[in-house]
Structure 1
């Protein structure tokens, strides 16, 4: 199930998907392959991006160990997996290869 969300600062609509009771969708990175969510080691929540986290959380993004088996979540099916996948190991959804440019923000490399 999904819906559209208007982001005034960007002057555009983005698609928000729902996994359980959580909305998934990022106003900062919202291309068709921007479907990965990373876990913050501090709060234990999955976030669409570090900018979404900075806007909503009261703490810096805590980097996860690179070998944590549940540090990444697919925004398409909600499946969890370890760092380093180019597509979801559960549903096959492809992930944005550009996400690796931000790996140092999310993981202790």
Structure 2
């Protein structure tokens, strides 16, 4: 799976590169995976749009540890752990959920 802006095999980028920064998100507007909203701003389509809640059943989150594509709802319900390989995700990503998903607000 190609992740635009990724700097390693677990989808980390120059903006977010801690041990737990290992997801990429398929942007609704262009259908491409990026590690973060900043990578999309730098390399993306220039027209950011969030996933509508009615489409939370779509696979749009990639686990960088095992390559599993999660639905948005699976990711949101994951408790920051991949349901497939049990790798930890960065719980701080929830602060940016509103940039990717409709009706998700920064906490």
Aligning the two structures, in what range does the TM-score lie when normalised by the shorter sequence?
A: 0.7 to 0.9
Q: TM-score, normalised by structure 1?
A: 0.74
The alignment status of 1:59 with 2:46, answered yes or no, reads yes
CA RMSD of aligned residues (A): 1.9
Q: Deviations over 1:43-95 (max 9, x none)?
A: 11111000011111132322113423312110111101123121112111110
User: 1:87 maps to what in 2?
Assistant: 81
Q: Which 5+ residue runs of structure 1 have no aligned equivalent?
A: 1-13, 19-23
1:100 aligns with 2:94: yes
CA distance in 2, matches of 1:96, 1:31: 8
Give distance in 2, aligned partners of 1:25 and 1:50.
12
Which whole-Å deviations, capped at 9, do the CAs of 1:20-41 have from their partners, x for residues lacking one?
A: xxxx321001100001111101
Task: Identify the residue that residue 75 of structure 1 maps to in structure 2.
Answer: 64
Secondary structure, counterpart of 1:103 in structure 2: helix
Structure with more of its chain in strand, by fraction: 1
TM-score normalised per structure 2: 0.75
Which structure is larger by alpha-carbon Rg, 1 or 2? 1
State the aligned residue count: 91
Asked if structure 2 preserves the Cα contact closer than 8 Å seen for 1:40 and 1:63, the reply is yes
What SS is found at the alignment partner of 2:41? helix
Q: Which runs of 5+ in 2 are unaligned?
A: 1-5
2:3 corresponding residue in structure 1: none
Q: 1:51 to 1:15 in 2, by over 3 A?
A: closer
